[in-house]
Amino acid sequence: MTQTKPQPKKLYIKTYGCQMNVYDSERMSEALGGTGYEEVSSPDEADMILLNTCHIREKAAEKVYSELGRFKGLKAENPNLKIGVAGCVAQAEGEEIMRRQPLVDLVVGPQAYHRLPEMEARLSNGAKVLDTDMPEEDKFEQLKARPKAKRGPTAFLTVQEGCDKFCAFCVVPYTRGAEASRPVARVLDEARDLVERGVREITLLGQNVNAYHGAGPDGEYSLARLIWALNEIDGLERIRFTTSHPNDMSDDLIEAHGQCEKLMPYLHLPVQSGSDRILKRMNRSHTRDSYLRLIERIRAARPDILISGDFIVGFPEESDQDFADTMDLIRQVGYGQAFSFKYSTRPGTPAAERKEQVPSDVADARLYELQALITQQQRARQDAMVGQTVGVLFEKPGRLPGQMVGKSDHLHAVHVSDCDAQPGDLRQVTIVDSGANSLSGVLI
Ligand code: 5AD
Ligand code: SF4
């Protein structure tokens, strides 16, 4: 009798939202890999579908429900298909999801992923599973180690989760829980493992990554100290981190931007508004002026740093003058990159209680105006790279024959023709042209 190997079951994961979800999806895939699943790129052939969701704005959550509705046909064709909702919508809405969409078999919050293998066993027995606990243990430690597969040149590494800042508009403190930092040794082990598998650039992730305070072999480590430790890893060429809060931008981190060679000249530092009145109502606990002074200090340490930001327009009570203050702050800072959003009421947050909503068409007009200014600044910052020589980490071939694409130190996409660089090579490139969304250059 010949023994046939069991066919791997097929897992389809769709990821919404931030980079932390991208990282979590990888880890979920690896955890379920241990129970016989392999990842596929289409839901049509899947035995399990997981939506890793985002709850940050209303639209993001609604998308999840409309996507779930689309799986009805698939479930009719394959009654054994398991459908799961993970991520922040799962955490925030829990059982309500199963009530609203009976197709769903599994609801798992972001702090419970390490229990997925055991949940899968229960699902296989026909049970429905809900787990939105926020246990103390390090979920990443419990998840199966990353398999030793080769990786591309860039990777995310979550070092911190949760947020204690409680900005009045934001669901993160409720969906991701309190701030928690992973121990230094675990982060370094994971980083070394990534480098062995081909990674050259690591982006450290956290909802409030610069509030990192992990236990180290010789006391507590700040984010700056962690970066200096990572700087020692041979083969790791670049370090980035995101997302930061202005109040946690400590002196040692600013100094690292000036002195640590592998730390890239790019900083995402959301301010949300340029009006003190609105910042106060947002519970941001910094002022317009303190933010501007902070940017000055960071630029003094690293003059070529590219500053990126997040903005919300149409927060309750935002007047024309408040919005003008935001536009003025943007002009003063000069952003190389920015993300801007229309305020979205999130149930359970303090701002949701406020009656003084800005009319939707007013918020739309402000968003349009703000985005036009940001686009102009982004383009100017990109154009200013022409003639300069920068490091480029090559990632993949471009669309044209012989062309390669990579990212510059400042995170601009760079195309190089007649390029003999391989994915993972870090080379010096002189920038010769600036297009709509990318630069082109020549190897030196
Ligand atoms: N409405 C609009 N934008 C929001 N953000 C967070 N919460 C909301 C909300 N309720 C934005 C902030 C944050 C980014 C990740 O999402 O700008 O920095
Ligand atoms: Fe949300 Fe504010 Fe925390 Fe950022 S700092 S995750 S915006 S509460």
Q: What pLDDT, in 10s, does the model give residues 238-297?
A: 999 999 999 999 999 999 999 999 999 999 999 999 999 999 999 999 999 999 999 999
Per-residue model confidence (pLDDT) at position 147: 60
pLDDT in tens, 24-68: 999 999 889 888 999 999 999 999 999 999 999 988 778 899 999
Residue 59 phi, psi (nearest 5): -60, -40
Q: Consult the annotation and say whether 167 binds a ligand.
A: yes
Per-residue model confidence (pLDDT) at position 391: 98
Ligand at minimal distance from the CA of 268 is 1
Q: Is the CB of 207 under 6 A from ligand 2?
A: yes
Cα(298)–Cα(251) distance, integer angstroms: 9
Helices 320-333 and 360-383, packing angle to 10 deg? 10
Which domains does the chain carry? 9-131 (3.40.50.12160), 149-264 (3.30.750.210), 389-443 (2.40.50.140)
Per-residue model confidence (pLDDT) at position 135: 75
Q: Measure 318 CA to ligand 1 centroid, in angstroms.
A: 15
Question: What residue's CA is closest to ligand 1, atom 9?
Answer: 344
Which tokens sit at 337?
């990159």
Ligand at minimal distance from the CA of 177 is 2
Helix (H, G, I), strand (E, B) or coil at 205: strand
Nearest ligand 1 atom to the CA of 310 is 17
Q: Measure 56 CA to ligand 1 centroid, in angstroms.
A: 6
- List Cβ neighbours of 128 (8 Å cut-off, separation of 6 or more): 98, 104, 105, 106
Percent of the chain with pLDDT over 90: 88
Residue 379 phi, psi (nearest 5): -65, -40
**Which helix (H) or strand (E) covers residue 312, if one does?**
strand 306-313
Q: Measure 15 CA to ligand 2 centroid, in angstroms.
A: 20
- List Cβ neighbours of 153 (8 Å cut-off, separation of 6 or more): 198, 199, 200, 201, 393, 394, 395, 423, 424
Q: Is the CB of 167 under 6 A from ligand 2?
A: yes
Between vectors from CA 138 to CA 136 and to CA 140, what angle results, nearest 5°? 150
Query: What pairing do the DSSP bridges indicate for beta strands 389-397 and 404-408?
Result: antiparallel
DSSP designation for 37: E
Q: Consult the annotation and say whether 260 binds a ligand.
A: no
Which tokens sit at 24?
């979590």
Cα(319)–Cα(205) distance, integer angstroms: 34
Question: What residue's CA is closest to ligand 1, atom 14?
Answer: 310
Q: Is the CB of 163 under 6 A from ligand 2?
A: yes
Q: Measure 386 CA to ligand 1 centroid, in angstroms.
A: 33
Q: Measure 243 CA to ligand 2 centroid, in angstroms.
A: 9
Cβ atoms 353, 310 nearer than 8 A: no
The whole-number average pLDDT for the span 433-438 is 95
Q: Measure 57 CA to ligand 1 centroid, in angstroms.
A: 7
Cα(316)–Cα(69) distance, integer angstroms: 33
Stated pTM of the model: 0.93
Site residues for ligand 1, CB cut-off 6 Å? 56-57, 169-170, 270, 272, 310, 312, 341, 343-344, 346
Between vectors from CA 207 to CA 205 and to CA 213, what angle results, nearest 5°? 75
Q: Is 231 left (phi over 0), alpha (psi -120 to 50) or beta?
A: alpha
Strands (E), 226-269: 238-242, 266-268
Ligand at minimal distance from the CA of 339 is 1
Per-residue model confidence (pLDDT) at position 350: 96
Most confident option among 59-73, 97-111, 315-329:
315-329
Residue 136 above 90 pLDDT? no
Q: Measure 337 CA to ligand 2 centroid, in angstroms.
A: 19
pLDDT in tens, 141-190: 666 555 667 889 999 999 999 999 999 999 999 999 999 999 999 999 99
Q: Measure 70 CA to ligand 1 centroid, in angstroms.
A: 27
Residue 309 above 90 pLDDT? yes
For residue 444, the Cα-to-chain-centroid distance in whole angstroms is 33
For ligand 2, pick from 91, 158, 163 the residue to mutate: most ligand atoms within 8 Å of CB: 163
Q: Is the CB of 173 under 6 A from ligand 2?
A: yes
Ligand at minimal distance from the CA of 174 is 2
Which tokens sit at 279?
């910042």
Question: What residue's CA is closest to ligand 2, atom 5?
Answer: 165
Label residue 312 by pLDDT band (50, 70, 90): very high
Q: What share of the chain is helix, strand, coil (3-state, %, to 5)?
A: 40, 25, 40
**Which helix (H) or strand (E) covers residue 196, if one does?**
helix 184-196
Cα dihedral sign for 415, 391, 194, 226?
A: negative
Cα(107)–Cα(271) distance, integer angstroms: 33
Residue 415 phi, psi (nearest 5): -100, 135
Q: Consult the annotation and say whether 419 binds a ligand.
A: no
Ligand at minimal distance from the CA of 56 is 1
Question: What residue's CA is closest to ligand 2, atom 1?
Answer: 170
Q: Is 383 left (phi over 0), alpha (psi -120 to 50) or beta?
A: alpha
Per-residue model confidence (pLDDT) at position 59: 84
